[in-house]
Amino acid sequence: MPDMGHMQSRADRLNAILKEAFSPALLRVEDDSARHAGHAGAAPGGQTHYNVLLVSEVFAGMNRVARSRAVHAALAAEFASGMHALALTLRTPAEHARSTSPPSGG
């Protein structure tokens, strides 16, 4: 019988891997698998589809594709072990501040 005390959810592993790789100012990992139940790639146990918001200085000077590649490279083992899809929002702290500040009335 496996010891469930040491079983990390994939979301926990994603959090740990991304923190290690990107030292994020903000990291949010949401398991979105339930919304995809019955779709291609969705496993009965879930843990296949994730929404990730990652705000890190590492992304400064990188375009969207380079940022996405960096995250996919960091998470290659998770994709190899059954993760199907990531919805990524990747920003620098400055970009995130702009995206969350109220628009100025002009």
52: part of which helix (H) or strand (E)?
strand 49-55
* pLDDT tens by residue, 16-61: 999 999 999 999 999 888 776 665 555 556 778 899 999 999 999 9
* pLDDT tens by residue, 67-102: 999 999 999 999 999 898 899 999 999 999 998 777
Torsion sign, CA atoms 16, 12, 26, 72: positive
Is there a domain that residue 59 lies in? yes
Residue type, 71: V
Question: How many structural domains does the chain have?
Answer: 1
Query: Are 36 and 42 in contact, with CB atoms under 8 Å apart?
Result: yes
Which CATH number fits the domain that encloses residue 43?
3.30.300.90
Question: Is 2's pLDDT higher than 60?
Answer: no
For residue 58, the model assigns a pLDDT of 97
Q: If you count them, how many residues does the chain have?
A: 106
What is the domain range of residue 88? 8-100
User: Distance between CA atoms of 24 and 16, rounded to whole angstroms?
Assistant: 11
For residue 48, the model assigns a pLDDT of 81
Is there a domain that residue 1 lies in? no
